[in-house]
Amino acid sequence: MSVEPLHSETLSNLPYYEERVDLAAAFRWTVRFNMHEAVANHFSLSVNDDGTQFLINPNQRHFSLIKASDILLLDANDPSTMDRPDAPDETAWGLHGAIHRNCPHARCALHVHSIHATVLASLADSVMKPIDQNTAIFHNRHVVDDGYGGLAFEEEGERCSQLLQDPKVKVMVMGNHGVMVIGDDVGDAFNRLYYFERAAETYIKALWTGQPLRTLSEEIAEKTAREIEEYDNQAGYHFSDLKEILDREEPDYKE
């Protein structure tokens, strides 16, 4: 779980204001880390116990401009969602709606086409091998979707959501597409997204050399992954500090 920031928060009457602030921060930092696709891609966060009510970015709004008040509140079980005047993007509804209906453990779902993760998704073998500490984080914890069927409208979204049924799987490498990362909250998911892109960059650049890879054994890779999972709330501290930087440099994200 994310730790509370040490700085003061602006209070608001918006429902789920703190959750909106966290999502807005994630959008802004996705731009800063150059993992965005301008007005495309979507982040969502469940806000009720069974995960079916969720926050998501508005249709065709650039990640760098998204504020807490812009974010939509949807119900994954509401078939009239796409009839709303502020309806989300169809692929946002198709993919994230399906995940929040079918995978209640996926509290936060972040989908991007970041460069190195997408390069990985474009390889015939999209499994990332454990060749260093960061790549080992994801050992036995990512799944590859090799059944890409076009834009993630409702049918494709339902199919993709089935690949995230195992709570141990935190990352879906979407073959020929991009990556989906899930987590317990925004800070947990965003930290995982950041490190997956970093790990993918290391892995892709290692492949570029054409030299044999120094791959960790199954035993050591699994041990490393478990140790990092049990480490002392790195994700919370990381995300809290990212929000503090935005408070100083882009405080409008909280509006």
For residue 4, tell me if it sits in a domain: no
Q: How confident is the model at residue 154 (pLDDT cuts 50, 70, 90)?
A: confident
Q: What is the pLDDT of residues 87-130, one digit of tens each?
A: 999 999 999 999 999 999 999 999 999 999 999 999 999 999 99
Counted domains in the chain: 1
What pLDDT score was predicted for residue 1? Answer: 41
Residue 160 lies in a domain: yes
Mean pLDDT of the chain: 94
Q: Give domain status of residue 7, yes or no.
A: no
- Pairwise CA distance, residues 178 & 155, whole Å: 18
> Does residue 195 sit within a domain?
yes
CATH number assigned to the domain comprising residue 190: 3.40.225.10
Q: The tokens of 86 are what?
A: 């502020």
Considering the chain, what percentage of its residues have pLDDT values greater than 90? 91
Give the model's pLDDT for residue 152. 80
pLDDT at residue number 104:
96
| pTM (predicted TM-score) | 0.93
Domain that holds residue 132: 17-250
Residue 40 lies in a domain: yes
With respect to residue 5, please indicate whether it lies within any of the assigned structural domains. Answer: no
Asked if residue 11 is part of any domain, the answer here is no
CA 84 vs. chain centroid, Å, equals: 25
209 domain-assigned:
yes
